[in-house]
Structure formats: C-alpha cells, structure tokens
Structure 1
Amino acid sequence: MNDTYHHTLDALGLCITAGIPVILWGDPGEGKTSMIESATARGVHVETVILSQSEPSDLAGLPIVSPAGDVVLAPPIWARRLAEHDGPAICFFDEFSTATPALQAAALRVLTHREVGNLRLPRSVSFVAAANPVEVSAAGWDLAAPTSSRFVHLDFAMTAEVFTRGSVTGQWPALPGRELPADHTERVAQEMATVCGFLRARPNQLSVIPQDHALRSRAFPTPRTWQFAAELSALARAHDLPDEVTSMLVAGAIGDATAHEYLSWRTNLDLPDPAGLLDGSATIEFSGLRADRVFVVLQALVAALGDDPGPERWTTAVELCCQAAHQAGLDAAVPAVRALVAAERRPAGAPVPAAISIFAPALAEAGLL
C-alpha cells in the first residue's frame, strides 16, 4: 500500500478515536465517502448527512409545539439514531464545501456542543466531514475561519496502487480502529507542556488567522487547534506510529508552516524523561539551558505527577524547581512551582524544601504564600 495513503488512514483513525472533528479534502470520486462508511464493517454506526441537500433546521432542529404548549427544537431522525446507538458512531458530513455559510454556521453548534435541536449527542459519536477543494466542487464555498478551526484537515487522494489492487481483489483498505491508552490524559499533559514551552519561545504562534480568505479555509494555529495537535501527537506516540503520521496530524491542526517549526523545535529538545527525574534515576543540570527548555522540563514534571502525587515525588518536583531557579533564573520556574504549591496539588504531609524561599515574592504575589 502507498505509504502516504496508509499514513492518512492512520491519522484519520486517530482523530476518530480521540473524538476530534476531522475533515478530508480531496477531488471528487477519490473514495472519501466509501472509506468512512467502511467503518460499519467493525461495528461502528455511521450516519451520513449530505449537507448540499440539507437545510439549517436539519442541524439546528425544527421548531415544533410540544404537548405542553412549549416550542422545542425537534432533532432530525439521523441525530436520534446516533444518540440511541449503543457503541461508537460517526456523524459524517458529506459534501461539506458545498454547504452555504448558513449551513456552516448551523454545523458549529453540532461540532462544538454536540447539540442537534434539543438533543445532545454522546461522547461516543465522532465527527468527520468530506470536502472538495472549492475550485473543483459544484457551487463550492470556502470555509469560514470559525468553522475551519473546528477541524483537523487531512488531504485524501486515491493512488493507482490502491485502486488497482482494490478493483482486482475487491478488498479495499479499511479504516483502522484504535483505543485510547489508559494513560492518555497524562500523555496529553506531557505534550501540552512541550507545546507551552514552544509558545513561550514563539508567542506570536499562539493564534495566527491567515489574511487570505482561501487559507482561512484550512488549518491555522489557535488555542483550540494547538490542543488538537497535542492530543493527537500524544496518541500517535502511544500507538508508536511513524513520524509521518504525527507530522500529518500536527500540520492538519495548526498548518504546515507552524507545524514544521514546532516539530523541528521539539525534535531538538533532547530532554530527560520526567519520570526518571522524579524517581532519581535521571539528573539534570539547568545551567546554560535555554529558558524555553527549562520551562518544558518543569512543566513536564508537573504533568508527570498527575492529579494524585505522592509526598516524596511532590517534594522532589519542588526541589527541581528550586534547582532550576538557582541555576537558570526564576522566570521559567515560577509557573511550575505555582502549580505545585496550589492547595489542590500539594499532598497532605508533604515536606516543603527550605530552598523554596527563592520563590517567596512570586508566591506571595499569587496569594499562595
């Protein structure tokens, strides 16, 4: 199988697993719809909603008068079937680029709040859309920035190898299904620590909405899409997928240029495992370390502690923050130590190192001293 095609399927499968809306961009007849609907073979319920044949009320709900005399927004039958299905399901918005701006606006509530009329879809429902580039679609519309920022954007193209093999054998590549790892929350927290370190070094990359209208139809960095990038990158690592899949997902969330800069920066970090620092099997020297790298190390320690840290591990984390403050300066260490000494994070009976006095002014200012 063509590697790029295989990587696209892996990336698509991870978005569905994570419950992050994803949109497939490709020319007509490339097999986008059949690929999504192939998930039914492994027990996933798929509801296909063709937006070019829909009205805003099909997404927002149709106003009706209830027996009690109230006006309620009745959900369409496809939404009720999704809500009633016991198990994983996909809400598939086909022909998304032919949706009018009014339909796109109606879809925002579904994508963001999972609400269709007066019905809320369960977390077991994932959202996938398919779209043709405007230049090749029938009566196509560019996506508005609020809509495009709700999706991870993936390019999808059939290859000659996949087509010929599927046509001859009748066996087409299936959409892969994967599970969230048990430590998914911790993995995402670790990845977000890295993202925040990058953004401290490149604060102008937090939110960059393109000036060109066509570019606003695709991926660009916002706080929400950075969260998408972190969660999907962590999930790709958990499943030991190729770097190409991670690059595809991160670029699909925050755009090619920012993704290239972030992934290059992350590759060159070369920092110790936070678990090793906490259990004493690894050490670190902060002197001479750039502030953004110090920040990532300490935030990774906070993430590695989780929501229920033991007293010894908590004290070790605070001691490392104090070490960083003495060797590399206060600025990069203050956010981590503030998080650690907050009442909800400090374990009962955990000893506080005397060296924490270096943070006294910063903690007093935050009301934590």
Structure 2
Amino acid sequence: MTTEAYQNTLDALGLCVSARIPVILWGNPGEGKTSMIESVTERGWHVETVILSQSEPSDLAGLPVVSPAGDVVLAAPAWARRLADHDGPSICFFDEFSTAQPSLQAAALRILTHGQVGNLQLPDSVTFVAAANPVDVAAAGWDLAAPTASRFVHLDFAMSVEVFAQGSVTGRWPALLTWVLPDDFRGAVAREMASVAGFLRARRNQLSVIPKDHASRSRAFPTPRTWEFAATLAALARHVGCSDDVASLVVTGAIGEATAYEYLSWRENLDLPDPDALLDGRESISFSDVRADRVYVVLQSVVAAVEQNVTDDRWTAAMRLCCQAAAQVSIDPAVPAVRALVAPGSRPMSATVPKEISVFAPVLKQAGLL
C-alpha cells in the first residue's frame, strides 16, 4: 500500500466515524489498526475498546439481574456505562471481531443498529468501529454472518512502508480526521438517495444481492441498509471535498466492488443540474433528449430540494417540471415525484396547482391521491 492509499483509507474511516456509520477494518495482525483508532483520544474523543474474542454474550447483551421492583432487567456492562456517561464524541471499538464466535457476533447486532446494550441506550455521539483479521490469518477466525456483515462498511487496512518508516523515526503518524455534519446534510443525503433510486430503477436486481459463498457474505454487498450507507458517505465525501478515490472506497465498502463500480460509473455520467436553480428559475432544462432514468433522478432531486425548503412558489415550480417531463418524455419517470408532491402534508395550502397536472389524473386517482 502506498502512502496515498493509506491516507485515503484514513479519510474513508474518518467519513464513517463522522457520519456515525459502523465500519470494520480488515487487515493483517500488527499493522496498527488498534493504535490508530485509539490515537483519537489525543483530540478529545473517548475510545472504549472491547476485545470481542475475550468477551461473553452477556458482556454485549447485558447481564440479567433482579431489580428492586422484582423485575428482571439486563444490566449494561461497565464499558457501555462509560460510553453513556461521556460528554462528547466517542468510539466503541470492537477489536478482534473476526476471532469472536458467532454467538458473540450475533449479540453485537442490536448494539450496531440501535446502540442499545442491555437496558442502556447509548447516546447518538457514539460511533462503532471494529477491527478484524482475514480468516486465513486470524487465530481461530470465523467468517462474518451476512446479517453482521451488512451492518458495517468494510475497509481494507494495510501499513505503508513510507508511513511506518516516518512514523517510527519521528513518532508522528498520519491523523484520523473527522468532520462536523453540516446543517443541510439531510438534504445532501436525500439528493444522493435520489441518484441511488434512479440507478436501482434501471438495475432492479441490485437492490439486495446476498452472495452465495461464505467468504463473500463476510464482506460488503448491496442491501437497502448498505445503499443508505453508501449514499450518506458519498454525500459527506462530496461536501468535505474528499477525492474521488476516497468516495469510491466508502461506496465500495458499503455495497461491494462490482455494484459500486457500476453505480459510480452510472452516477458520473448523470451530469445533474442544480435542483434549487431549477426551482428558482436560475436554470432551465429540456427533457426531450434526456434518458428516462436521468429524468427520474432530476425530478427526485427536485422533490428532495422542495422538502428541505417548502414554499408555494417552489412547490408549484416542482409540479411544473414534472408536467414538463411528462409532456417531453412520458409520465412514467415523473409519476413518483408527483405522488410525493401531492401526498398528504406535502403541498402548501396556498400553492397553485398547474392545470397541466391533469395528465397525471388517472394515476393519482388510482393511488387515492386525487
């Protein structure tokens, strides 16, 4: 691994930590995964390291105890209470994940998805990171079950010779960067999800693809959950100015190499207009020569922009764009956007409805929206 590739991996990891998306680092023993994660304590983060292979299921699910009221509750372990008590960002670091027995991996599922340890709810400031050795080099290693693998973004980690040489001599190692999510981040994710939805309309068989062999099921593959991971991380990578290589790492780590390559190639050729510029009239678009999948993504991006800032004029402009698409291409790629715009609670009470909407009347009536 080159120094640039090493830094790209750190940046990809930083995106996952910043977005609070669980991430697992795969690498050979002794290459600095644990020390790199624990180094963030120097910047005010709290890191709670749990050696999973040395734990019991009750260390994750909670130990049954009888409360003063006579009820049986699951008491959270000390490491979880320390995370809950910390005032600030923190990392729950599951080390040696691939050497943990399947029962322990199963016990970690609810923690990874809901942040719940026994009867204790961890705060949103906690993010989950795991480290694992490939099964062929792990001490008594176990493949990850598909439900466990689908809860992580998977990143390959290897030490660069140049990084090791410089760090071991100077004592200075590349820093793990983190970023604060912007106020409008939900809108950015919604626009990226519009691209994901457009791709999946064209490639419906890529929504959920569970590999057939055990080794592949232990790594990244597409599911609705991992598609959301990919969209969130791609949006954050674009916002903070990460390179295309870093964006590719996080998307590949979420949905797998083959699907990520196909999606990113498709996404690169979209050349989408700014939805806010379309709504405000600063830009115009002709759908006549636009592919149906691109029409769908443009209109879904417009819907996402309206949801973030709903006004009478923006809602009406969005409806006019849908009607324009229906007239210039067909109603099919515009129907989902129109349904979203006329759904209960979506239309401002005083917004003007374009008369051209009549072209959607049969579809809206069938859906119970007219």
Work out whether residues 7 and 244 of structure 1, in 8 Å CA contact, stay in contact via their aligned partners in 2. yes
Work out whether residues 187 and 308 of structure 2, in 8 Å CA contact, stay in contact via their aligned partners in 1. no
Q: Deviations 1:296-352 (Å, cap 9, x if unpaired)?
A: 000000011124411011101000000001111011000000101113111120000
TM-score in terms of structure 1 length: 0.99
* Partner of residue 5, structure 2: 4
Residue 368 of structure 1: how far off its partner (Å): 1.0
* Partner of residue 278, structure 1: 279
Q: Deviations 1:44-81 (Å, cap 9, x if unpaired)?
A: 00000001100000000011112222111111000000
Residue 279 of structure 1: how far off its partner (Å): 1.0
Work out whether residues 308 and 347 of structure 1, in 8 Å CA contact, stay in contact via their aligned partners in 2. no
* Partner of residue 43, structure 1: 44
Matched, 1:158 2:146: no
How many equivalent residue pairs?
A: 369
One-letter amino acid of the structure 2 residue matched with residue 130 of structure 1: A
One-letter amino acid of the structure 1 residue matched with residue 339 of structure 2: R
Matched, 1:213 2:214: yes
* Partner of residue 356, structure 2: 355
Work out whether residues 52 and 95 of structure 2, in 8 Å CA contact, stay in contact via their aligned partners in 1. yes
Residue 25 of structure 1: how far off its partner (Å): 0.2
Residue 224 of structure 1: how far off its partner (Å): 0.3
Give the stretch that moved more between structures: 336-345 or 242-251: 336-345
* Partner of residue 91, structure 1: 92
Matched, 1:252 2:253: yes
Give the distance between the partners of 2:64 and 2:353, measured in 1 at CA.
60
One-letter amino acid of the structure 1 residue matched with residue 201 of structure 2: R
TM-score in terms of structure 2 length: 0.99
RMSD: 0.8
One-letter amino acid of the structure 2 residue matched with residue 106 of structure 1: A
Work out whether residues 307 and 345 of structure 1, in 8 Å CA contact, stay in contact via their aligned partners in 2. no
What is the SS of the residue equivalent to 1:47? strand
* Partner of residue 53, structure 1: 54
Alignment of 1:166-177 (within 5 A): 166-177=167-178
What is the SS of the residue equivalent to 1:23? strand
- Unaligned 5+ runs, structure 2: none
Alignment of 1:301-316 (within 5 A): 301-316=302-317
What is the SS of the residue equivalent to 1:284? coil
Of all paired residues, the percent bearing the same amino acid is: 72
Q: Deviations 1:100-138 (Å, cap 9, x if unpaired)?
A: 010010000111111111101010000000000000000
What is the SS of the residue equivalent to 1:250? helix
One-letter amino acid of the structure 2 residue matched with residue 285 of structure 1: S
One-letter amino acid of the structure 2 residue matched with residue 230 of structure 1: A
Which portions of structure 1, spanning 4 or more consecutive aligned residues, are displaced by more than 3 angstroms? Answer: none
Alignment of 1:55-134 (within 5 A): 55-134=56-135
* Partner of residue 367, structure 1: 368
Work out whether residues 91 and 127 of structure 1, in 8 Å CA contact, stay in contact via their aligned partners in 2. yes
